[in-house]
Structure 1
Amino acid sequence: MLSARSLFQEILDDDRSFRLFCSIAASGEAQGGWENGRIAALVPESMRHLAPKITRHGADEDKHGRIFTALLKKRGLEPVPVPWETDYTMLLERRGIGLTHTKLRRDEPLGEEDILVYLAHSRITEQRAADQMVMLVRYFGENPEVGNAVKIISQDEDNHLAYCHEELLRLAREGHGPLIQRTLRLCALAEIQIYRQVSLAVMERMGRLLGWPAPKAAALAAGIHGVYGYERLAGWRRMVSLTMPERRDALGGPATPVPAL
């Protein structure tokens, strides 16, 4: 029976697919770490109170990249280059979502609106990451090879999502509500398209590595299109809602080190 659990188990069991999966994940997390580090360095003076939290966010992303690299090393594997069509972060930037790398490479302070865009973009992408990690913890939280890693990352993603909700709600109370909602909607509608594009590309690559028959590949592609259809119709609304989290000041301390996996 084709299911998310059986699909990820198949990817986990094969060195080639596991190598690609961890390489894509490690690259994306490392890229997120760099972006947050640059944003923290360029925060405008009026919002310097956010710099430690943005720094913590970036440190967590760097940690996740090291975790995925460590999982590869445990199997004696090296990362592989990430195919461009599976580079979620780069494709979002090309769609004009978030802050461009060109802007982040300049040594010029960002504006307050830039920070709002960063938080809105993060609220969308962290929702995706948090949901994916909840699924992996449900299926593989007790797996001796990856269970500890997915639990650690899932907890961090929950913290990141809580932080985005709290800070965006604070900015909305300061009068930025309409701009926040417009930005969230723009980000969400672009993200679900990019997520479908990347999901199809990743599954196509995995199918080639694992020798999936055409009917299985077609069923997976249909499932991805189905998820997109639901998100395009209604699911995106969940991604733009803002609710004060139970976990307040979620990024108020230093990042935890990478534990032994």
Structure 2
Amino acid sequence: MLSAKSLFQEILDDDESFRLFCSIAASGETQGGWENARIAALVPASEQQLVPKITRHGADEDKHGRIFNALMKKRGLEPVPVPPETDYTMLLERQGIGVAHAKLKADQPLTVQDIITYLAHSRVTEQRAAEQMVMLRKYFADHPQVGKAVRMISGDEDNHLAYTHEELLRFAAEGQGRFIQRTLRECALAEIRIHRDVSLAVMDRMGRILGWSRARSALLAAGIHAVYAYERFAGWRRMVTLRMPERRNALGGPATPAPEFV
């Protein structure tokens, strides 16, 4: 039976597919850590109260990268180079989504609109991350090998999503509502397209590693296209709505360490 649980279990059980999965995840999280660290260093004077939260966001992303690398190490595996077509974070940046890396590599303070752009980008991508981790937590929260990692990362992604809602609502109350909604919509429509392309690329790689039949690969590809069609029609709207989260000030403290993984 083809299901999300059986698919991930198959990837988890094979060393090569597990290594590719963890390598892609670790690379994306590490890149996110770098981006947040640079943004924290360049926050404009008027928004300095955000620096500790952005710093924690980056520390969480770095921690997730270390966790995925540690999961590989426990199985005696080394990371593999990430195929460019599977590099979700870099593909988003190349599409102009989020704060451009040219700005992050400079030493000039960002503008308030840059910070809003960062938050909108994070709100969209953290929605995707939180949903994916909810799925993994549903099936693998008690798994002896990856259960602790899934629970920890899932909790962090929920915090990140809550934080972006709260901060964007604050900026909206300050008169930035139209810019926020325009930026969220642009990010969401780009994200769903890139998520489709990356999903197809990852499944193609996994299929070659695991020896999937053409019929099975075609079925998975059709499912990915169906999800994209739904998201392009209406599903993207869940990524642009804003509501005050139950979890307030979610990034108001230090990052939670993960000593069992590093």
Q: TM-score, normalised by structure 1?
A: 0.99
Deviation at 1:76, TM superposition (A): 0.4
Residue 154 in structure 1 maps to residue 139 in structure 2? no
Between the aligned partners of 2:259 and 2:64, the Cα distance in structure 1 is 11
Q: Structure 1 residue 259: deviation in Å? A: 3.1
CA distance in 1, matches of 2:52, 2:221: 41
Partner of 2:64: 64
Q: Trace 1:166-245 onto structure 2 (pairs within 5 A).
A: 166-245=166-245
**Matches of 1:206 and 1:103, distance apart in 2:** 35
Tell me, what secondary structure is at the counterpart of 2:177? helix
Deviation at 1:7, TM superposition (A): 0.3
Map 1:73-222 onto structure 2 (within 5 A): 73-222=73-222
Moved over 2 A (4+): none
Q: Distance in 2 between matches of 1:158 and 1:73?
A: 27
Counterparts of 1:139 and 1:214, CA distance in 2: 27
Q: Which amino acid in structure 1 is aligned with residue 182 of structure 2?
A: R
Cα drift, residue 247 of structure 1: 0.2
* In 2: Cα distance, 1:228 partner to 1:173 partner: 32
Mapped partners of 1:256, 1:155: distance in 2: 10
Q: 2: distance between equivalents of 1:170 and 1:223?
A: 38
Q: Under a length normalisation based on structure 2, what TM-score does the superposition of the two structures give?
A: 0.99
**Whole-Å Cα distance in 1 between the matches of residues 214 and 139 of structure 2?**
26
User: Number of paired residues?
Assistant: 261
1:55 partner amino acid: T
In structure 1, give the amino acid aligned to 2:78: E
Residues of 2 paired with 1:175 and 1:111: CA distance? 15
**Cα distance in 1, alignment partners of residues 239 and 258 from structure 2:** 29
Paired residue for 2:252? 252
Shift of 1:100: 1.4
How many angstroms apart in 2 are the aligned matches of 1:68 and 1:90?
Answer: 18
* 1:150 positional shift: 0.5
Between the aligned partners of 2:238 and 2:258, the Cα distance in structure 1 is 32
| CA-atom RMSD in angstroms | 0.5
Distance 1:96 1:34 in 2: 17
Unpaired runs of 5+ in structure 2? none
CA–CA distance in 2 between the matches of 1:209 and 1:101? 33
- Deviation of 1:106 after TM superposition, in Å, equals 0.3
